């Protein structure tokens, strides 16, 4: 399965090789194709195009015309952001860096011919392929749930309409109702993400539905920034949040989307909102390209190249790289290391040692921001953590506010680094 | 300490709508204390030099952004070319909220919110502007950036291309355009200031944990490379 060289998504397979290619490489320039215009893909495309100054032909394949960031989507739930604040378009990448942006799905990779097939027909040739497709969900991970039930029990773990749906459900909750979350097992996108979401939902409910309850069923015994979140929940939302960890059966859940029930360790309850965040795996195209091993795509730390194919690089959430958390910051950091290596391989430009870093901020309540961060280096075996820090419990309100301000600065910084 | 009083005419905001002007007595000695907020970036007084920000001698009556040897942001150059001059009223509006006057300014400073503080500060700055009637022979008041870095570290010549690569770690947070919406701008700093700031984080003299971590693993050569790149980012 994993090593399948030619794989296409069902019906489109036939047309894919026949139709006239919509994308043609220019004269002898080396060609880079990037699949996925998110945190990893947009950054990689932008850096390769920007720094090679026209020497490399860069094509970015991304189905959506507006990328909604998952980062700050919890703040949208909490009422701190508008959906429009989260949306970013690809005009700058085309206009400022000459990137050929193709709005389509990649549906297959032919590693011998070195082409990527598009859902709309045609295929795009590459010298180096970069996959940054983000995540998909593991089938059957939560009993009773499938992607077919995501309109009743949203995951909101890919931002956009799912996030809006979850917010609408939150707003429609009856007074004193129950918001349930089924948290994911490790490893998953954005370790503090579910708990920041709980905080933001609590913030909304405190102001609009103060007798409502939040229940979290978690298959993990502990979670990212746990002490900080629990302190914050006590300070701001005392009595509202019931977190049920693995020790108390939080991992033994079943949902019924039609009945809107959730069963935790055999105990069935009616809930008004059920935010199911299932176990995750690499975006499907990574599997179709045959670069996954299990749920994720193993990569070499020095340049993020796939362990299965030196001409394919895998970035961000889809990659299995070692110690970095799956975050937008990490994907962006990995993309720059990859871009430097890819440019070096294709044009002989200088290649510098790989350096990675990550910082994840979370908002617990108004102006109550916390952060965790670390630096990483490439070893033979993996991306290995070098050093790190985390916000402390009991910090002053000033420090927390400054931390929140930093996250605002970071958000502007990273989206400019991806799309400007 | 000489007490220096100066009447600054402060208008609440710029433009024709603010017909009413309110006269505030600024106290230059008190303003000197307020200037501590500025002295990390600006020098004023005899021997003052351009640092992160331009020196502020002779600021009264000067066209905004008009020191030829100082690299202003594009936004600021535009401001100057529209004919804005620094007087008590324009300074007051600018210092209250720099980004309100010039959205793209590289002066990453939130503003002095207290009107009396601003009046005092403006009175203080006034003492370093040419006016035969009231020039005190000012002593240098600017606080020189405090450091005890090995001169050999300051003398390192940075590898700009390496700096460009290293800078990609920084631009996740610090905008390459110099924009600032919560994290300060680090473009076009004099290299020496940049190196001092980075070593201050590295030695944990400056407190921010993110920057301590970032700077902590950079070698002297790497800091010099970054300084060289960011000082000339668009060249
Ligand atoms: C609620 C929440 C909060 C978060 N908060 C933070 C935070 O504060 N800080 C942080 O750093 N990270 C945060 N994250 C994590 C962050 O969003 C992800 O880790 C990051 O976006 C991963 O980048 P990526 O490039 O791997 O995938 P993505 O950014 O998801 O990009 C993948 C792209 O690939 C496209 N794609 C997928 N398949 C195909 C295909 N076959 N063909 C073409 N295109 C395809 C998709 O449309 C998508 O645009 C958060 C996540 C969530 C869910």
pLDDT at site B235: 67
Two tokens at B174? Answer: 């610090």
Structure tokens given for A149 = 């039930």
Instruction: Considering only residues B5 and A414, tell me which one the structure prediction assigns the higher pLDDT.
Output: A414
ipTM: 0.82
Whether B73 has a pLDDT exceeding 60, the answer reads yes
- Distance between A11 CA and the closest CA of chain B, angstroms: 40
pLDDT: which is higher, B81 or B216: B216
DSSP letter at A23 equals -
Which of A218-222, A392-396, B131-135 is predicted least confidently?
B131-135
- Would the CB atoms of B209 and A412 count as touching at under 8 Å? no
Alpha-carbon gap: B96 to the closest alpha carbon of chain A (Å) = 19
The string of DSSP codes covering A96-155 is: HH--EEE-S-EEEEETTTTEEEETTS-EEE-SEEEE---EEEPTTSSBT--GGGTTTS--
Q: Kindly give the number of the ligand 1 atom that is closest to the alpha carbon of A42.
A: 25
Interface residue A4 vs chain B (CB under 8 A): no
Q: Give the phi and the psi of residue A307 in degrees, each rounded to 5.
A: -70, -15
The answer to whether A191 and A333 have CB atoms below 8 angstroms apart is: no
Task: Indicate whether A163 pLDDT > 60.
Answer: yes
* Of residues A284, A261, A291, A13, the one with CA closest to residue A147: A284
pLDDT the model gives residue B6: 32
* Cβ-nearest to A357 among B175, B179, B214: B214
Percent of chain B with pLDDT over 70: 80
Q: Is residue A202 within 8 Å of A210, Cβ to Cβ?
A: no
One fold for both B2-126 and B151-232? yes
pLDDT tens per residue across span A184-194: 999 999 999 99
Which residue of chain B comes nearest to A391, CA vs CA?
B209
Q: How far apart are CA A67 and CA A62, in angstroms?
A: 9
**pLDDT above 70 (res A4):** no
Q: What is A293-324 written as a DSSP string?
A: BTTBEEB-TTT-BBSS-TTEEE-GGGEE-BS-
The ligand 1 atom nearest the CA atom of A69? 17
The verdict on A352 touching B (C-beta cutoff 8 Å) is yes
Residue of the CA atom closest to atom 20 of ligand 1:
A328
Query: From its phi and psi, is residue A304 left (phi > 0), alpha (psi between -120 and 50) or beta?
Result: left
The pLDDT of residue A303 is 98
Q: Is CATH 1.10.760.10 the right assignment for the domain spanning B151-232?
A: yes
Chain A residue nearest residue B167, CA to CA = A336
Is the peptide bond prior to A187 cis by the omega test (within 30 degrees of 0)?
A: yes
pLDDT of residue A227: 95
Residues of B at the A interface (Cβ-Cβ below 8 Å)? 161-162, 164-166, 168-169, 171-177, 179-183, 209-210, 212-214, 216-217
The structure tokens 């996959």 sit at A131
CB contact under 8 A, B175 and A412: yes
Report the distance separating Cα B139 and Cα B128, nearest Å: 10
More confident position, A295 or B24 = A295
Determine the average pLDDT of the residues in A226-245. 96
As for ligand 1, residues whose beta carbon falls within 6 Å of it are A 35-41, 61-64, 67, 70-71, 73-74, 105-106, 132-134, 157, 189-190, 193, 197, 283, 285, 315-318, 326-329, 331, 360-361
Q: Closest residue (by CA) to atom 53 of ligand 1?
A: A157
* The two three-digit tokens of residue A400, written as one number: 């927390």
In this complex, which of B168, B169, B183 lies closest to A410 when CB atoms are compared?
A: B183
What is the residue with the minimal CA distance to atom 5 of ligand 1?
A: A71
Provide the CATH number for the domain formed by B2-126 in this structure: 1.10.760.10
Average of per-residue pLDDT across A141-146: 97
DSSP A81: S
User: Three-state DSSP class for B39?
Assistant: coil
| CA dist., res. B210 & res. A373, Å (int) | 7
Task: State yes or no: pLDDT of A120 exceeds 70.
Answer: yes
pLDDT > 80? residue B119 = yes
Half-sphere exposure of A354 (CA within 13 A, CB side): 27
**CA-CA distance, B26 to B119, in Å (whole number)?**
5
Nearest-atom index, ligand 1, CA of A157: 53
In three-state secondary structure terms, A236 is: helix
Segment A195-216 shows an average pLDDT of 97
Contact at 8 Å (CB) between B199 and B223? yes
Summarised one tens digit per residue, pLDDT across range B138-149 is: 222 222 344 567
What is the rounded CA–CA span in Å between residue A226 and residue A233? 10
Residue A333 and residue B169: Cβ atoms within 8 Å? yes
* B213/A409 touch (CB, cutoff 8 Å), yes or no: no
CA distance A184 to A121: 36
Q: Which atom of ligand 1 is nearest to the CA of A335?
A: 25
**Distance in Å, CA A189 to ligand 1 centroid:** 8
In this complex, which of B162, B169, B179 lies closest to A357 when CB atoms are compared?
B169
- Confidence check: pLDDT of B17 > 50: no
Task: Indicate the domain borders of chain B.
Answer: 2-126, 151-232
Do A416 and B217 make contact, defined as CB atoms within 8 angstroms? no
pLDDT of A61-91, one tens digit each? 999 999 999 999 999 999 999 999 999 999 9
**Domains contained in chain A, CATH given:** 3-136+280-351 (3.50.50.60), 147-276 (3.50.50.60)
Predicted confidence band of residue B174 (pLDDT cuts 50, 70, 90): very high
Structural contact between residues A88 and A59, judged by C-beta atoms closer than 8 angstroms:
no
User: Ligand 1 centre and the CA of A362: distance in Å?
Assistant: 17
């Amino acid at each position: 399965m994993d090593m399948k060289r030619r794989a296409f998504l069902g019906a489109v397979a036939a047309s894919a090789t026949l139709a006239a290619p919509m994308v043609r490489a220019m004269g002898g320039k080396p060609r880079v194709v990037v699949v996925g215009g998110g945190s990893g893909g947009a950054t990689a495309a932008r850096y390769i195009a920007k720094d090679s100054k026209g020497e490399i032909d860069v094509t970015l394949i991304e189905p959506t015309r507006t990328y909604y960031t998952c980062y700050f989507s919890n703040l949208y739930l909490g009422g701190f952001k508008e959906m429009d604040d989260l949306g970013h378009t690809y005009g700058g990448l085309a206009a400022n860096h000459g990137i050929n942006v193709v709005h389509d799905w990649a549906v297959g990779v032919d590693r011998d011919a070195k082409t990527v097939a598009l859902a709309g027909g045609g295929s795009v040739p590459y010298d180096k392929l970069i996959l940054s497709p983000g995540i998909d969900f593991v089938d059957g991970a939560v009993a009773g749930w499938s992607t077919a039930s995501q309109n009743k029990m949203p995951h909101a773990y890919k931002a956009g309409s799912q996030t809006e749906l979850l917010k609408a459900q939150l707003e429609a909750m009856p007074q004193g109702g129950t918001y349930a979350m089924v948290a994911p097992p490790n490893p998953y996108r954005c370790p503090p993400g579910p708990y920041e979401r709980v905080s933001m939902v609590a913030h909304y409910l405190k102001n609009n539905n103060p007798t409502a309850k939040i229940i979290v069923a978690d298959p993990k015994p502990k979670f990212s920034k746990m002490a900080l979140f629990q302190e914050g929940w006590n300070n701001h939302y005392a009595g509202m949040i019931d977190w049920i960890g693995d020790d108390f059966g939080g991992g033994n859940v079943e949902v019924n989307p039609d009945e809107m029930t959730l069963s935790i360790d055999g105990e069935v309850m009616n809930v008004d909102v059920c935010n199911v965040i299932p176990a995750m795996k690499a975006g499907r195209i990574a599997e179709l390209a045959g670069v996954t091993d299990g749920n994720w795509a193993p990569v070499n730390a020095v340049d993020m190249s796939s362990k299965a194919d030196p001409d394919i690089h895998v970035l961000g959430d889809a990659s299995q790289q070692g110690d970095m958390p799956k975050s937008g910051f990490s994907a962006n950091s990995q993309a720059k290391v990859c871009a430097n290596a890819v440019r070096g391989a294709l044009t002989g430009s200088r290649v510098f040692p790989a350096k990675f870093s990550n910082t994840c901020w979370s908002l617990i309540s108004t102006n109550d921001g916390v952060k965790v961060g670390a630096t990483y280096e490439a070893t033979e075996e993996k991306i290995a953590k070098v050093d790190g820090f985390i916000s402390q419990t009991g910090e002053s309100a000033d420090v927390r506010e400054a931390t929140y301000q930093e996250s605002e600065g970071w958000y502007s910084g990273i989206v400019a680094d991806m799309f400007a | 300490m000489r007490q220096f009083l100066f009447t600054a005419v402060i208008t609440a905001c710029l433009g024709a709508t603010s017909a009413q002007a309110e006269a505030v007595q600024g106290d230059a000695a008190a303003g000197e204390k307020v200037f501590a907020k500025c002295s990390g970036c600006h020098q004023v007084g005899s021997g003052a030099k351009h640092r992160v920000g331009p020196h502020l001698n002779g600021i009264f009556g000067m066209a905004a952004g008009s020191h030829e040897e100082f690299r202003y942001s594009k936004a600021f150059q535009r401001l100057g070319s529209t004919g804005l001059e620094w007087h008590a009223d324009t300074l007051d509006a600018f210092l209250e909220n720099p980004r309100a006057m010039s959205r793209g300014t590289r002066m990453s400073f939130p503003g002095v919110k207290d009107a009396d503080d601003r009046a005092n500060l403006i009175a203080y700055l006034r003492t370093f502007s040419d006016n035969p009637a009231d020039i005190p022979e000012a002593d240098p008041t600017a606080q020189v950036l405090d450091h005890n870095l090995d001169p050999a570290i300051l003398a390192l010549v940075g590898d700009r291309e390496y700096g460009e690569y290293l800078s990609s770690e920084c631009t996740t947070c610090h905008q390459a355009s110099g924009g600032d919406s919560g994290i300060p701008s680090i473009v076009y700093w004099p290299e020496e200031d940049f190196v001092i700031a980075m070593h201050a984080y590295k030695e944990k003299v400056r407190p921010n944990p993110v920057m301590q971590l970032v700077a902590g693993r950079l070698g002297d050569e790497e800091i010099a490379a970054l300084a060289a790149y960011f000082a000339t980012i668009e060249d």
